[in-house]
Amino acid sequence: MFGTLIHSFHNWFFGRQIPAGSKGRKNQWFREPVRFGAVLVLGLCSCADKEGYPDDLPYPQRVDLIVEEAPKLSPNNPSPPGGLEKSIANLGLVGGKILDPVKLPEATQTEITKLLAEQFGTPAQPRVGDGKTNLPELGKKLKLDSQTLAQGSVAYRRNCLHCHGLSGDGKGSSGLWVHPPPRDFRQGRFKFISTNPAKNLNRPRREDILRTIRMGLHGTSMPAFGILPTEELEALASYVIHLGIRGEVEFTIEKTLLKPQSQVLNLFENYLPDEEVSKDQETLAFFVPKFLQEIVRQYHTAESQVLVPPEYPFKDSELSDSIRRGFRLFSSQAPDALGCVSCHIDYGRQSPWQYDEWGSLNRPSNLTAGIYKGGRRPLDLFWRIKRGIPPSKMPAATLTGEDEGKKTWDLVNFIEALPFPATLPEEVRNAVYGSTGRIAKPN
């Protein structure tokens, strides 16, 4: 075979006649390289630069570990770059609980994948709901129609995919190496939200997601995308919600079914307590659309549940006093104060690392640096204080009484002034920066 190849090439190459095999075999030598060339050249020249995902690409099934419960302890350092997955695998050793979705029976895994594909489509044709339920109405209000989602999918692929990954798992090529890791949308949980805590809704408003996309998260690797066209931003927010819902359905089912002796009925009991289910309805096929509907309803409710801040009560001349009161609320452990310093140790300069819901490590913000992940506007600070950051350990402020609003604004004023020693009243400045006038490290 090899001899024939050399002979035929030699004949052609040097134009000399050397006896070779049959004519049919003589021409075989160029088949492979020619095919290689033809595929490469014709394939590339003919294809337009197509935006968006290929049509036959499905959402990948979840195979990475589920963090059911994050450990309570505070390690000394964050996980090394690229080490998140290993770190999560070790969580069980330090008091966390992890579940492995691959351990589900294969039939269940297949069923989940099939149901998710039915309800959420593919990256190229994303949708929320299979069109049979009454989602269209709520979905339209939340801009979850398939047209917006398709637009969002294209924009997401261009702008977000490299960090947040195809299914929103936060494990894109760039995302593996940044710290904190990019948000894994698949638990449907978002950190910086502005809904009223009284309603017990841990859902973001669209506006919260939009703010994060527009302004980025200063202090993380999330860039600001504010100069994208408005409708692209809106489409991106819709697509992020879509990924969040899809992931949450998957996450919830897997988390529940992975527990020992659990069954589909537990899903209904835990997540759809009002639903009357008959025995033959205890199937995932029945649960998924119902649960999806419930999540969409919650997102929809959140839209109208913004936590409205009370009117700002102070004149400019009262600012110093307000900062003093805010300082006391922040640093005192008295029962009527908040004692924020117990986590934001040394005003955040020595904050300890803590696990958040996703099993990654974060620490209470260094408030002397003037870097606020959730936004630097007074309103943003107000929401962070009053709403907390539920998925990490930051609790909502428990201020009570009729001057609750005033107290919150005191705290906002103090936090706003904290990075600027010159604007702090003298005793506050001495307490925070010492009498030597040490200033925050420039950044």
Q: How many residues bind another protein (CB under 8 A)?
A: 110
Give residues 161-190 in contact with another protein (rule: CB under 8 A). 161-163, 165-167, 171-174, 176-180
Give residues 361-380 in contact with another protein (rule: CB under 8 A). 361-363, 370, 376-379
Give residues 381-440 in contact with another protein (rule: CB under 8 A). 382, 409, 412, 416-417, 419-423, 439-440
Give residues 24-43 in contact with another protein (rule: CB under 8 A). 33, 37, 39-41, 43
CB of 375 to another protein, least distance (A): 8
Asked whether the beta carbons of 132 and 150 are under 8 A apart, the reply is no
CB of 93 to another protein, least distance (A): 5
CB of 126 to another protein, least distance (A): 13
CB of 47 to another protein, least distance (A): 6
Of the candidates 247, 235, 248, the residue with the CA atom closest to the CA atom of residue 146: 235
Report if residue 221 touches another protein, rule: CB under 8 A: yes
Closer CB to another protein, 26 or 290, in the complex: 26
Report if residue 219 touches another protein, rule: CB under 8 A: yes
Give residues 41-80 in contact with another protein (rule: CB under 8 A). 41, 43-45, 47, 49-54, 56-57, 60, 71, 73-80
Residue 309 structure tokens: 């801040």
Amino acid letter, residue 78: P
Closer CB to another protein, 158 or 290, in the complex: 158
Residue 99 structure tokens: 């579940």
Give residues 222-241 in contact with another protein (rule: CB under 8 A). 223-224, 226-233
Residue 135 structure tokens: 């989602």
- Cβ partners under 8 Å of residue 114, min gap 6: none
Report if residue 350 touches another protein, rule: CB under 8 A: no
CB of 312 to another protein, least distance (A): 4
Whole-angstrom CA distances from 194 to 19, 206, 343, 417 are 84, 10, 22, 22
Which residue of 2, 3, 13, 132 would you call a contact of another protein, by CB under 8 A?
Answer: 13
CB of 396 to another protein, least distance (A): 18
CB of 425 to another protein, least distance (A): 14
CB of 266 to another protein, least distance (A): 29
Report if residue 277 touches another protein, rule: CB under 8 A: no
Asked whether the beta carbons of 366 and 348 are under 8 A apart, the reply is yes
Give residues 290-309 in contact with another protein (rule: CB under 8 A). 306, 308-309
Whole-angstrom CA distances from 284 to 58, 102, 107, 212, 392 are 20, 18, 12, 34, 30
Give residues 93-152 in contact with another protein (rule: CB under 8 A). 93-94, 96, 123
Whole-angstrom CA distances from 363 to 46, 150, 418 are 51, 36, 18
- Cβ partners under 8 Å of residue 66, min gap 6: 98, 99, 100, 101, 251, 254, 255, 258
CB under 8 A: which stretch of 204-212, 254-262, 273-281, 393-401 binds another protein?
Answer: 204-212
Residue 215 structure tokens: 């302004």
65 burial via Cβ count (<10 Å: 0-12, 13-18, 19+): middle
Asked whether the beta carbons of 180 and 83 are under 8 A apart, the reply is no
Give residues 327-346 in contact with another protein (rule: CB under 8 A). none
* CA distance linking residue 27 with residue 24, whole number of Å: 6
Asked whether the beta carbons of 210 and 234 are under 8 A apart, the reply is yes
CB of 48 to another protein, least distance (A): 8
